[in-house]
Amino acid sequence: MKIRPKRLQVGDTVGIIAPASPPNFEKLTKSFAFLEELGLKYVIGKSVQLQNGYLAGTDEERLSDLHEMIEDPNIAAILCASGGYGAARIAERIDYQLLEENPKIFWGFSDITYLHTAFGLYSDIVTFHGPTLSSMGREDVAERSKHMFKQLFEPAEIHYEEDISMLTTVSGGAVRGELTGGNLTLIVSSIGTKYEIDTKGKILLIEDIGLEPAQIDGLLNQLKLSRKLDEVAGVIIGEFTNAEPKEYVDSLTIDEVFTHYFGKLGKPVVKGFKIGHCEPNVAIPLGVDAILDADRKHLAILPGVQ
């Protein structure tokens, strides 16, 4: 069982970092009012306002921010300001033992998937797949996206049913297993590295943005050929935003792609979860056990904090 970080208390200080691309600072600034509504103080990492091409500062600057936030006993949680690209560039130099010895909440999604996977493997810690802070500074943020931050203050099970979004059973059955995964592109990019995702006996979450069906097909085929789909206990299909065909006029639909890979998997698979690049973006802990009942279209997740 992975280490569950301590829950937040009103008055706690959170650290804000940008381990990948620089955030939209205007939207990020607007999100600070939301943190204050939660009763939290915040410290902004140095790299958050830096830019090195498509990166938030150099690899050294982004890595230093992460380590400083982990080491600082006054920081109760680490929230990622943005995704983009670049988290994998610092993975090899992270002090994973430091995080294991100083477990604290780590929150983000998209490119941050690479760090979720790495922390799960080498720091043995529960992390949180949830909206980046810059996305919380948009005008159209759903109340449910905001509400999901409450799970950091009080251990509570998450129950996802069709009252949140329409769910579709792709393959039936029910299973209990540890949650893992996140952004499909980043999951696949880990294969063949020391940070390769472990799906054996686990419930795999996948989501992505801006990929047409042929590209999603290629990524799922890589998961299949690397036997990651053979090993899973079940699959949660989150939001695949802007997944319309572009280059291929006579394209398969995204649903046809999902049916091809998951329809005869013989394990529970459900699609339609509002998890990923969408509103609401339902935040969930990774590294905890969950029960996926594809026949009832119900997902129950154990608390991520203690």
Say whether 95 sits in a helix, a strand or coil.
coil
Residue 189 is a catalytic residue:
no
Q: What is the helix, strand, coil percentage profile of the chain, to 5?
A: 35, 25, 45
Report the distance separating Cα 181 and Cα 187, nearest Å.
7
- Please name every residue paired with 85 in a beta bridge, in sequence order, or none if there are none: none
> Side chain identity at 226, as an amino acid letter?
S
**What letter represents residue 94's amino acid?**
I
Q: What does the alpha-carbon distance between residue 238 and residue 221 come to, in Å, rounded to a whole number?
A: 18
Annotated active-site residue in 116, 135, 189, 277: 277
Tell me if residue 21 is catalytic. Answer: no
Please report the sign of the dihedral spanned by the C-alpha atoms of residue 109, residue 301, residue 235, residue 298.
negative
Residue with tokens 């999604």: 109
Residue 196 bears catalytic tag: no
Active-site annotation holder among 31, 171, 207, 212:
207
The one catalytic residue in 110, 123, 134, 145 is 110
- Kind and range of the H or E element at 290? strand 289-293
Task: List residues with catalytic annotation.
Answer: 110, 207, 277
